[in-house]
Amino acid sequence: MDGYAVPEGGGIRTPRRPDPSSFSLRLAVEGELVDIAALFAPALEPYRGGSDWILDLYLADLLDVGSRFEAAETLVAVQNERIVGSVAFYPDVVLEGWSNLPAGWAGFRALVVDPCARGAGIGRALVERCFERGRELGGPTLGIHTIALLADAVCLYERLGFSRCPEFDLRAADVFHAAGADMTVLAFRYDLGQPRSDARQSIAPRTVTEPGVTT
């Protein structure tokens, strides 16, 4: 059980695909930050081939897992004893440092799923755990930012009941402090007061790939 599959009769060993039937969510510990950071580059790879400049800037920010660990609740998804997903939940978006969303809103960043573990509902489960934490802390709203390039992410958020709040859109140049970074960073909100059943009823049958990195 070394994590590799060996073809019958021998040959080159290939990595085993994680069993999609089960996973668990918990808080990360400091010793797992390297494992979390290793998820981001592979998760962004499917989106490359166009606006790679924004992905390079985004990846550099995502790899700073330690800063988020100090300011946020870093959650991980564990499957077959491997970290296959993560998200950083902020009780108040002010703690993100750059967000222009209203103080008092909860938020999350750096949602990521290992490409080998997609399709098991890990991304959705991590987002729903953020909903739960926001409600537990009494926040009225959860707000996030993402970019249209991550189209699967936008679809996921809409399916989970997020709505656009363009009055809080940002310029990528302002977020990443990069001259010429001409792209809009889209703002979304989720009303934490809406019943959980309402959010589930708004979800259509799965028609999009579970995203790798979403915000």
Beta pairing, strands 24-27 & 184-191: unpaired
pLDDT at 151: 87
- Confidence (pTM): 0.81
* Cβ atoms of residues 23 and 73 within 8 Å: no
CATH of region 18-201? 3.40.630.30
Domains in the chain: boundaries:
18-201
Q: For 85-116, what is each residue's pLDDT tens digit? A: 999 999 999 999 889 999 999 999 999 999 99
Tokens 């918990």 correspond to what residue? Answer: 26
Closest residue by Cα to residue 72 from 109, 102, 98: 109
Q: Check pLDDT > 50 for residue 10.
A: no
Contacts of 26 (CB under 8 A, 6+ apart): 75, 76, 78
